[in-house]
């Protein structure tokens, strides 16, 4: 592949990222784009248009995942796929996920413009709802595709308005049965995802490319405390069953569990804590919260998770409030495929870029694609290692390097 | 006044309370009715209609407070006023405040039907926004009327959408300058408010009537913590500046301060705690909370308040997050007027109902009316002492007794 002469159009990538960021329910630079909202529908159309502009054949599956295929000279062989997501949690940034979709489309454009012709077909996938914003579960699209989430379970997922995914996807124009979404193992020769690191290592070591060898194991709980409301002036302290106070205790207990029971790589986060009824002069009667626990070590993660579950029950019991603990997900870690890792390594050499083999601590569609396809990821540095914030940033040069490595990786895998 | 023969139409009161409860943004039996929302506008119209049906002359002041006057035979004398509020915090009940408006209208109806003719005019007032839901400050209408809140400060109050009270009241059809709202001391001979107790004492002692001699002193803080957001998987624990965790510590500290520094009557409540951005996999970057502190002892309340303010600063400092503490209000307690208390006592004797002199721990428009008029309150029992909940309940018999005592009190004060 060394003879490939690629011109990655960095300016076009930046312009497309900026245009996509305009489809947002939060004021710039913050981005909020939640599955199948009117804003998301516009963003999805924008991505379909970009795919068509570079000559990809676009199709939707019944769940709303978007596929764009460049037919190879041997279309009977399993294709090579790449892609990521374009949804954005409330008040986040413009690079998480989007770099792996818009960057993939640009990689295809650069390959086409170079005169390259793939043997295996190349496919860009935009997975829907990688972020758990709407349904409380991450990687909805790739989970379904990989079979880790069954079609009936997906159909019955409910958002905050108690609207099912089945209803929402139908209203959003997705046709066909969800039963058609899962793909068999072996349907793709490989899956490669380009993504910002969401951590500080590449920036700290001044390296342009990370090659992911494993993806950490995330788990999440939903905890609900139901106590007794009442007027903040009228119910004396000993008579109260305040639902917020056990939630406050649990948030602090989760932090302690991660720090004391976990290792350096263990993290626990209470990202959602909602108080009902939520009035200045009203004792909280119900409190709902989530606890997200991650680690690269599955056993240690589950020890921390179990400790938090036990403490939820004991604090609720001590404060005499009803406590419900639900496991939202507890996914196993993914090992990346050696042949795909080797292809990325070859690509970095061809592009003359140094790289680091590393572990992904964040959740990705690759975690699920790894169940049905040989998978790895290409990481690029992001400023300060931050993501999920309006000031999330990856430089044009960093993105350009990532897209070049992606293009070379796809080219190589498509000829094998 | 013993010769007054009053027929209180308990069935009509219940029907009107039920009809008013239908103007709600929460499903029955919960009631949500927030100032100047479309639902509240319908509720306000319903109250105006009721006032007109019993022959009251209805007018609005520039803030949207509603007045209904029965002209006395000596209209030049300061009138006697009664009333309460009809707004309802999210997911509360149908008796708090409403009993004092619909009950007052029924008291007027009963007096009229008995053939009674007042010398001083009698006036029913529906105060707007007694609850702090929309603007974060309680008793907006009576605060303005009493001069405790200045018209420019009221005009500039902002709701969550950053819409000013000036804009909202204009859109709601209130005309004239807010400068016309404050009333001079002495404008009313007396003010009497009928209200559910919102505490358990009357029910426990099986007494139908409470006569309020003082109203407890409430105070409230708004505390904002601003830390650093980020991806829940990617930022390790030692690097975090999570904005929720100091809020959790402060909620527990407020509980401790009330229990350990305060007395039996000291209460502290965190009723609002909002987490930004509020996603399962996002570290909280900002947290806003309120702390409501009340006591019948002003010095002790302020000690607890000061302790909470200090702990907010110290926990924010220790966790390296920016902390802002704002005093929303810290009102002094009100003493009730002896002549009005005596008039209520006479009324209970005339109605042959036993009573208890008591303190109000909850916030009322009477707290502010006491600044411009001799004031007291009539309490009736409510089930379990609960309020601000969908299961808030006062029996038809309890309400009937309260309305009879109110009618007899108004009659007596109107002839003095």
Q: ipTM, 2 decimals? A: 0.75
Domain ranges of chain A: 10-216+333-414, 218-330
Residues of A in contact with B262 (CB under 8 A): 237
Residues of B in contact with A132 (CB under 8 A): 279-281
C-alpha distances (whole Å) from B317 to each of A3, B248, B314 are: 58, 14, 5
Q: Closest Cα of chain B to A50: distance in Å?
A: 28
Residues of B in contact with A236 (CB under 8 A): 264-265, 267
In B, minimum Cα distance to A242 occurs at B269
Question: Mean per-residue pLDDT for A310-325?
Answer: 97
Of A326, A401, A390, A376, nearest to A211 by C-alpha is A376
Give me the phi and psi of B82, to 5 degrees please. Answer: -145, 165
Whether B120 and B414 have beta carbons less than 8 Å apart is answered as yes
Best A97, A388, A389, A391 member to test B by mutation, with max B CBs in 10 Å, is A388
In A, minimum Cα distance to B132 occurs at A280
Structure tokens at A348: 């970095």
- Answer whether B284 sits within 8 Å of A271, measured CB to CB: yes
How far, in Å, CA of B122 to CA of B56, rounded? 9
Beta bridge pairs of residue B29: none
Q: Closest Cα of chain A to B362: distance in Å?
A: 5
Residues of A in contact with B89 (CB under 8 A): 277, 279, 281-282
pLDDT, position B216: 83
Among partner residues B230, B252, B275, which is closest to A272 by beta-carbon distance? B275
How far, in Å, CA of B384 to CA of B124, rounded? 29
pLDDT, position A297: 83
Domain covering A218-330: architecture: 2-Layer Sandwich (3.30)
Give me the phi and psi of B203, to 5 degrees please. Answer: -65, -45
Structure tokens at B259: 């229990």
Among partner residues B138, B228, B281, which is closest to A292 by beta-carbon distance? B281
Q: Closest Cα of chain A to B27: distance in Å?
A: 14
Instruction: Return the higher-pLDDT residue of B16 and A298.
Output: B16
Q: Predicted confidence band at A231 (pLDDT cuts at 50, 70, 90)?
A: confident
How far, in Å, CA of B81 to CA of B57, rounded? 14
User: What does DSSP say about strands A355-360 and A209-215: parallel, antiparallel, or unpaired?
Assistant: parallel
Give me the phi and psi of B165, to 5 degrees please. Answer: -60, -35
Q: Predicted confidence band at A331 (pLDDT cuts at 50, 70, 90)?
A: confident
- A158 DSSP 8-state letter: B
Whether B82 and B120 have beta carbons less than 8 Å apart is answered as no
For chain B, what is the radius of gyration of the CA atoms? 22
Give, rounded to a whole angstrom, the gap between the first and last alpha carbons of chain B: 11
B10-216+333-414 and B218-330, same CATH topology: no
How far, in Å, CA of A248 to CA of A272, rounded? 12
Other beta carbons within 10 angstroms of residue B136's beta carbon come to 19
Chain A to chain B, count of Cβ pairs less than 8 Å apart? Answer: 244
Give me the phi and psi of B255, to 5 degrees please. Answer: -60, -45
Other beta carbons within 10 angstroms of residue A118's beta carbon come to 23
Question: Mean per-residue pLDDT for A340-345?
Answer: 98
How far, in Å, CA of B302 to CA of A399, rounded? 57
- In three-state secondary structure terms, B359 is strand
| Residue with tokens 């990521």, as numbered in its chain | A84
Annotated binding site of A for Zn(2+): 85, 96, 131, 195, 388
Residues 6+ apart with CB under 8 A from A115: none
How far, in Å, CA of B31 to CA of B25, rounded? 7
Altogether, the residues listed in chain B come to a count of 416
Choose which CATH entry (3.40.50.1970, 3.40.220.10, 3.40.630.10, 3.90.1150.10) describes domain B10-216+333-414: 3.40.630.10
Q: Closest Cα of chain B to A365: distance in Å?
A: 14
Q: Closest Cα of chain B to A119: distance in Å?
A: 37
Number of H helices and E strands in chain B, helices first, is 12, 18
Give me the phi and psi of B362, to 5 degrees please. Answer: -85, 160
Q: Rounded to 5, what percent of chain B is helix, strand, coil?
A: 35, 25, 40
Best A199, A210, A238, A280 member to test B by mutation, with max B CBs in 10 Å, is A280
- Answer whether B389 sits within 8 Å of A252, measured CB to CB: no
Beta bridge pairs of residue A215: A334, A360
How far, in Å, CA of A9 to CA of A399, rounded? 10
Residues of B in contact with A229 (CB under 8 A): 91, 386, 388-389
Among partner residues B136, B218, B282, which is closest to A233 by beta-carbon distance? B218
How far, in Å, CA of B244 to CA of B289, rounded? 10
- B356 DSSP 8-state letter: E
Question: Mean per-residue pLDDT for A62-86?
Answer: 97
Using a 10 angstrom Cβ sphere, with 0-12 exposed, 13-18 middle and 19 or more buried, the burial of residue B143 is buried
Whether B394 and B216 have beta carbons less than 8 Å apart is answered as no
How far, in Å, CA of A68 to CA of A107, rounded? 13
Alpha helix positions (H), B221-271? 244-260
pLDDT, position B391: 95
pLDDT, position A199: 87
Among partner residues B136, B249, B388, which is closest to A231 by beta-carbon distance? B388
Residues of B in contact with A221 (CB under 8 A): none
Question: Mean per-residue pLDDT for A70-92?
Answer: 97
Whether B337 and B190 have beta carbons less than 8 Å apart is answered as yes
Question: Mean per-residue pLDDT for A287-295?
Answer: 95
Instruction: Report whether pLDDT(A2) > 80.
Output: no
Cis peptide before A29 (omega within 30 of 0): yes
User: What does DSSP say about strands A66-70 and A122-127: parallel, antiparallel, or unpaired?
Assistant: antiparallel
Beta bridge pairs of residue A295: A217
- In three-state secondary structure terms, B154 is helix
Q: Is B85 known to sit in a ligand binding site?
A: yes
Structure tokens at B307: 């302790």
Residues 6+ apart with CB under 8 A from A221: A290, A291, A293, A305, A308, A309, A312, A325, A326, A327, A328
Residues of B in contact with A292 (CB under 8 A): 232-233, 280-281
Average pLDDT of chain B? Answer: 95
| Tens digit of each residue's pLDDT (9 = 90 or more) over A6-59 | 999 999 999 999 999 999 999 999 999 999 999 999 999 999 999 999 999 999
Whether B189 and B416 have beta carbons less than 8 Å apart is answered as yes
Question: Mean per-residue pLDDT for A364-389?
Answer: 95
Whether B357 and B209 have beta carbons less than 8 Å apart is answered as no
Altogether, the residues listed in chain A come to a count of 416
Residues of A in contact with B269 (CB under 8 A): 232, 242, 281-283
Q: What does the pLDDT profile of chain B (416 residues) look like in tens digits?
A: 447 999 999 999 999 999 999 999 999 999 999 999 999 999 999 999 999 999 999 999 999 999 999 999 999 999 999 999 999 999 999 999 999 999 999 999 999 999 999 999 999 999 999 999 999 889 999 999 999 999 999 999 999 999 999 999 999 999 999 999 999 999 999 999 999 999 889 999 999 999 999 888 789 999 999 999 988 988 889 999 999 999 999 999 999 999 999 888 899 999 999 999 999 989 999 999 999 999 878 889 999 999 999 999 999 999 999 999 999 989 888 889 999 999 999 999 999 999 999 989 887 999 999 999 999 999 999 999 889 899 999 999 999 999 999 999 999 999 98
Give, rounded to a whole angstrom, the gap between the first and last alpha carbons of chain A: 11
C-alpha distances (whole Å) from A99 to each of A86, A130, B110, B137, B289 are: 9, 14, 73, 46, 36
């Amino acid at each position: 592949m060394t003879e490939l002469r690629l011109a990655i159009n960095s300016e076009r990538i930046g312009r497309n990222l900026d245009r996509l960021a305009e489809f947002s329910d939060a004021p710039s630079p913050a981005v909020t784009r939640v599955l199948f909202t009117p804003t998301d529908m516009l963003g999805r159309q924008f991505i379909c248009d970009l795919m068509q502009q570079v000559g990809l054949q676009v199709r939707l599956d019944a769940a709303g995942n978007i596929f764009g295929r460049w037919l190879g000279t041997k279309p009977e062989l399993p294709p090579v796929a790449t892609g990521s997501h374009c949804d954005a949690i409330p008040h986040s940034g413009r690079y998480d996920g989007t770099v792996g979709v818009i960057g993939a489309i640009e990689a295809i454009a650069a390959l086409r413009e170079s005169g390259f012709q793939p043997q295996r077909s190349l496919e860009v996938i935009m997975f829907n709802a990688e972020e758990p914003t709407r349904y409380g579960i991450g990687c909805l699209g790739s989970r379904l595709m990989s079979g880790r989430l069954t079609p009936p379970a997906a159909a019955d997922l409910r958002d905050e308005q108690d609207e099912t995914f089945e209803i929402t996807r139908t209203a959003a124009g997705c046709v066909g049965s969800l039963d058609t979404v899962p793909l068999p193992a072996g349907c793709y020769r490989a899956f490669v995802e380009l993504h910002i690191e969401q951590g500080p290592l590449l920036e700290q070591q001044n390296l342009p490319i990370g090659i992911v060898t494993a993806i950490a194991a995330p788990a999440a709980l939903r905890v609900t405390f139901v106590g007794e409301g009442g007027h903040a002036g009228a119910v004396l302290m000993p008579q109260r069953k305040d639902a917020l106070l056990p939630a406050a205790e649990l948030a602090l207990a989760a932090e302690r569990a991660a720090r004391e029971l976990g290792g350096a790589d263990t993290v626990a986060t209470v990202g959602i804590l909602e108080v009902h009824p939520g009035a200045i002069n009203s004792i909280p009667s119900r409190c709902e919260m989530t606890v997200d626990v991650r680690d690269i070590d599955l056993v240690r993660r589950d020890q921390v998770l179990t400790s938090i579950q036990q403490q939820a029950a004991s604090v609720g019991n001590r404060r005499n409030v009803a406590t419900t603990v639900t496991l939202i997900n507890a996914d196993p870690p993914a090992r990346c495929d050696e042949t795909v890792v080797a292809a990325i390594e070859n690509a970095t050499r061809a592009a003359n870029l140094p790289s680091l083999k590393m572990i992904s601590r964040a959740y990705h569609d690759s975690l699920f694609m790894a169940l049905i396809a040989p998978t790895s990821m290409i990481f690029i540095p992001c400023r300060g290692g931050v993501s999920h914030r309006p000031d999330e940033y990856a430089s044009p040069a960093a993105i350009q390097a990532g897209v070049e490595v992606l293009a070379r990786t796809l080219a190589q895998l498509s000829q094998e």
